């Protein structure tokens, strides 16, 4: 399975950068076609938050409902504490959500796909591949 970070879904939905939108669409379509697309409840929550902040969640309701079908996990208190322990160790607690993504992804997936360069700080804490898109 491939864990998709929130920003990939956002680029898929919003044309902020045509190249990134096309790349996001191609990667998501390929992962869905191959049965490898994975998002967590936290990714979905962040995605809805971004769309709501931009006041475009209603017009993207179809995408919200579509992506919600691919939530394949829960986030346990054990995973939250595991993420907290990592963030304390590396001094990165302001990005706790990224570390929660990492912990959940490691449980279910073999790769994370993201546009977020902050994941570079997590590569040595990861047992899976982190692909940072440009």
SS (H, E, C) 102-118: HHHHHHHCCEEEECCHH
**Segment 20-26 mean pLDDT:** 98
* Helix ranges, the chain (H): 6-13, 18-33, 41-53, 61-68, 77-90, 96-108
Query: Number of folded domains in the chain?
Result: 1
* Domain ranges, residue 105: 2-132
**Average pLDDT score, the chain:** 96
pLDDT over 90 (residue 114): yes
Domain with 24 in it: what CATH number?
3.40.50.1010
What is the pTM for the complete model shown? 0.94
């Amino acid at each position: 399975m491939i864990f998709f970070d929130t920003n990939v879904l956002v680029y898929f939905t919003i044309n902020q950068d045509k190249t990134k939108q096309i790349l996001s669409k191609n990667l998501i379509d390929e992962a869905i076609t191959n049965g490898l697309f994975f998002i967590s409840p936290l990714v979905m929550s962040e995605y809805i938050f971004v769309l709501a902040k931009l006041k475009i969640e209603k017009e993207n309701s179809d995408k919200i409902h579509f992506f919600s079908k691919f939530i394949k996990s829960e986030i346990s208190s054990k995973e939250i504490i595991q993420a907290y322990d990592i963030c304390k160790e590396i001094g990165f607690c302001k990005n706790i959500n990224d570390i929660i993504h990492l912990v959940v992804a490691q449980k279910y997936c073999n790769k994370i796909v993201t546009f977020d360069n902050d994941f570079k700080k997590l590569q040595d804490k990861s047992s899976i591949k982190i692909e940072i898109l440009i």
